[in-house]
């Protein structure tokens, strides 16, 4: 072997070793400054609440400030685009969920980003079911009775959602198809005004996330009929599932998780994933999540990417069947 070949191989090995050590050093040092988590929805929703719980614990673990920035607009597109175009260094993260990251590609003809390729999945945080709730004046005491009532009054029972193409809208359409009924969809700019109109009797039903519903269920201002997850929610074990109420196999339990711009160093992704896992393992965090009706969800970045890709395909079929479009 000639000296020049040996020299080239030595230089190559040194470069690879140097890059590896640099990546490890970067991860060990991360973070050295403020980290921001962008929530592409308004304050007070499930994404916002979960992000704040996790941010507080990460700040304590890292010894650095972790802030939440709410950037709502266009069904989550505004905040999501902001993160897609941010520096790929791990200091700008996106708290997304299946409702925006996996459904928007089917709702919009043109997005300013690719929901999969322009992002690095970092760490899942939780899964969170939705609930179907009705005004107390509705005589149905369970979901089977509610279905019978809708059949008796086709096109008269309304249900509210957080907007056209939202998860709660699509759940309502899935229920219409599954049971052969016709509830009328009423879209709102967020689930809070929908629930407010439900409480005042302006609409008859709504499909909020479980944490959005629970305070009103506890007050008795709405009645919960079912949750949409495959299993009953730990936070509300008395509420049956849709699967056990006439729709076997029904399971809508969307993930919430942190993503970064594509290109973030692998070592940094691994560190954040591990640290989020530590946070989710804390008993206090598990209690807080339970109060929100959320279940901690720990996966690897690779598993998270597979979940995202699978959900994009799954929801594309649902969106197509519903006919929902936003542009």
Q: Is the pLDDT of residue 102 over 60?
A: yes
- What's the pTM value of the predicted model, to 2 decimals? 0.82
pLDDT recorded at residue 162: 86
Q: Which residue has tokens 């009706």?
A: 293
Determine what percent of the chain is predicted with pLDDT higher than 70.
91
pLDDT recorded at residue 163: 85
Average pLDDT over the chain, rounded to an integer: 91
Mean pLDDT, to the nearest integer, of 268-296? 95
- CATH 3.40.190.10 region(s) of the chain? 131-245
220-259 pLDDT tens trace: 999 999 999 999 998 899 999 999 999 999 999 999 999 9
Superfamily of chain region 31-128+254-322: Bordetella uptake gene, domain 1 (3.40.190.150)
% helix / strand / coil in the chain, to the nearest 5?
Answer: 45, 15, 35
Residue 183 and residue 299: Cα distance in Å, rounded? 37
- CATH 3.40.190.150 region(s) of the chain? 31-128+254-322
Q: Is the pLDDT of residue 286 over 90?
A: yes
Q: Is the pLDDT of residue 74 over 90?
A: no
Mean pLDDT, to the nearest integer, of 139-168? 94
Strand partners of residue 258: 95, 123
Q: Of 54, 167, 66, whose CA–CA distance to 107 is shortest? A: 167
Burial (0-12, 13-18, 19+ Cβ within 10 Å), 5: exposed
End-to-end CA distance of the chain: 64
pLDDT recorded at residue 5: 47
Q: Which residues of 165-184 are buried (b: 16+ CB within 10 A; e: fewer)?
A: bbbbbbbbbbbbeebebebb
7-64 pLDDT tens trace: 455 454 455 455 444 455 556 689 999 999 999 988 877 899 999 999 999 999 999 9
Which CATH number does the domain 131-245 belong to among 3.40.630.30, 3.40.50.1220, 3.40.640.10, 3.40.190.10? Answer: 3.40.190.10
Q: Of 101, 149, 122, 128, whose CA–CA distance to 58 is shortest? A: 122
* Strands in the chain per DSSP E: 35-39, 66-70, 92-97, 119-127, 131-134, 158-161, 184-187, 205-206, 223-227, 255-261, 295-296
What Cα–Cα distance (Å) separates residue 243 from each residue in 57, 77, 255, 276? 35, 32, 19, 31
């Amino acid at each position: 072997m000639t000296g020049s070949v040996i020299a080239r191989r030595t230089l190559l090995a040194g470069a690879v070793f140097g890059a590896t050590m640099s990546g490890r050093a970067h991860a060990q040092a991360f973070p050295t400054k403020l980290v921001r988590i962008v929530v592409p929805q308004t304050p007070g929703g499930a994404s916002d609440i979960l992000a704040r719980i996790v941010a507080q614990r990460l700040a304590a673990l890292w010894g650095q400030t972790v802030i939440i920035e709410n950037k709502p607009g266009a069904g989550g597109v505004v905040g999501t685009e902001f993160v897609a175009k941010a520096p790929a260094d791990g200091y700008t993260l996106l708290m997304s969920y299946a409702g925006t990251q996996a459904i928007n590609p089917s709702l919009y003809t043109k997005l300013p980003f690719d929901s999969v390729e322009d992002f690095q999945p970092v760490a899942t945080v939780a899964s969170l079911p939705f609930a179907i709730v009705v005004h107390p004046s509705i005589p149905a005491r369970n979901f089977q009775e509610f279905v019978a009532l809708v059949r008796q009054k086709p096109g008269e029972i309304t249900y509210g959602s957080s907007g056209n193409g939202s998860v709660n809208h699509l759940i309502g359409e899935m229920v219409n198809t599954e049971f052969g009924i016709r509830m009328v969809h009423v879209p709102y700019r967020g689930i809070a005004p929908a629930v407010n109109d439900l409480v005042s009797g302006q609409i008859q039903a709504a499909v909020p996330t479980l944490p959005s519903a629970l305070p009103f269920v506890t007050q008795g201002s709405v009645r919960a009929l079912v949750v949409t997850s495959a299993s009953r929610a730990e936070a509300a074990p008395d509420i049956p599932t849709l699967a056990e109420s006439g729709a076997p196999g029904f399971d809508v339990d969307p993930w919430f998780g942190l993503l970064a711009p594509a290109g973030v160093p692998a070592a940094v992704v691994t560190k954040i994933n591990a640290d989020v896992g530590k946070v989710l393992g804390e008993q206090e965090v598990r209690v807080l999540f339970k109060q929100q009706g959320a279940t901690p969800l720990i996966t690897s970045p690779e598993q998270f990417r597979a979940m995202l890709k699978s959900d994009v395909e799954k929801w594309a079929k649902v969106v197509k069947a519903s006919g929902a479009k936003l542009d």
